[in-house]
Amino acid sequence: SDTIVILGAGQAGAQLADSLRREGHEGPIVLVGEEADPPYQRPPLSKTFLMDTFDEARLPLRPDAFYTDRKIDLRTGVTALSINRTGKTVALSDGSTLPYDKLVIATGTRVRTPPIPGIDGDRVYPLRTLSDSRAIKSALTGASHVVVIGGGFIGLETASAARTMGKSVTVLEAMDRLMQRAVSAPVSAFFDALHRDKGVDLVYGVRVANLNREGRSVEVELDDGRVFIADMVILGAGVIPNQEIAEAAGITCSNGIDADDYATTSDPDIYAIGDVSFHPNALRGRRLRLESVQNATDQARALAKTLTGTPTPYTAVPWFWSDQYDVKLQMAGLSDGFDTHVERRQPGSDAFSIFYFLDGKLIGADSVNAPADHMAARRILAQAEPALTPEEAADPAFDLKTRM
């Protein structure tokens, strides 16, 4: 039976190897990962792991024995260098060449480093990997003043962890509101108030012009001339997809590796899943790249079915979460481009959800400490009928279950 080679031993790669065995694939599975650590979960790395309330022993996605028991050939600390599509082989950094029948690219993303003079020096920390998070955790111990570049999920989660640990924290955001790419203005406003209330200094509409080392501190100089002095700087300015290996092999890429509903790339024997895949979204009728555990695992599960003989398109409803202080934000669907939004809130409660509609149809919901709304939204989004109206969503007495 086919040899399946998976490049990238992260959330998507590990899930695919697991699901392939569950679906009955009996041929060789080789899982190649650049990092030294076996596949692990990233979400705690910007949250509880930094605060030392999440033990490192709980990070691995599967126990070590899992890979040996299921005859999954896990090769950690090895980088895939290039793909030879004619010979159907992959060249690895350990000098070996791997033959494949089917190749899956699950190389994820890496931290985007904005072109700021001084950004590559000491005391500036990107956050993507376990080793990044270990370095931040250790630097936080001795730090008093932390500057975070970027008010997206990673930036705000680390800001929340650092503030909870008693550090003084400044978040620098280029846009005029928080998490602008993912949530609507009312949700940004809620998190603005939350972080300010906790004592975080939020600065909007600015770009960092320079990072100067001054003794043991970093002077963070903004384009408007303001200067912040920090013991450490955390980079949360977004990511870029690791698509170069596909590009170099002549596979079509744009914002990620272009893939169809079945994760197939422009080469019929090569697939792309997880953060690196630029794929069609059934709900919104366009291609996008998603950066979430849900997307990585659901794409991997669908592809495992396809590779074991049951062609299965990826149609799952996107969902995502973020923890900041004691607030859980949960997102269902994709809210960008909505034309109507309504708030749903039980009388007297701090918890709430915003439901988003386009042309009268529900397209997404953001829930703040309202997990039941989130679960209901996911189920309603997964089906065509019965439709939920904005009036029903806004009425706290309306039972969402009747639309599930």
Token pair, residue 252, equals: 């079509």
In the complex, least distance from residue 276 CB atom to ligand FAD, rounded to whole angstroms = 6
Q: What gap in Å lies between CA 401 and CA 388, rounded to an integer?
A: 10
- Residue selected from 31, 103, 124, 296 as contacting ligand FAD according to rule CB under 6 A: 296
Which segment (159-167, 272-280, 326-334, 362-370) binds ligand FAD by CB under 6 A? Answer: 272-280
Q: Which C-beta is closer to ligand FAD: that of 188 or that of 294?
A: 294
Choices 30-38, 95-103, 202-210, 351-359 (CB under 6 A): range interacting with ligand FAD: 30-38
Binding mask 55-94 for ligand FAD (x = CB under 6 A): ------------------------xx--------------
* 322 contacts ligand FAD (rule: CB under 6 A): yes
Token pair belonging to 383: 């089906």
Contact between 8 and ligand FAD per CB under 6 A: yes
Residues 10-29 that bind ligand FAD (CB under 6 A): 10-13
Q: What angle do CA 213, 219, 223 make, to 5 degrees?
A: 125
- Within 131-190, the residues that bind ligand FAD by CB under 6 A are 154
Identify which range of 197-205, 222-230, 264-272, 318-326 contacts ligand FAD by CB under 6 A: 318-326
Applying CB under 6 A, the span of 100-108, 345-353, 372-380, 387-395 interacting with ligand FAD comes to 100-108
320 touching ligand FAD, by CB under 6 A: yes
Residues lying near ligand FAD in the complex (CB under 6 A)? 7-13, 32-35, 42-43, 45-46, 79-80, 106-108, 127-128, 154, 242, 245, 274-276, 291-294, 296, 320-322
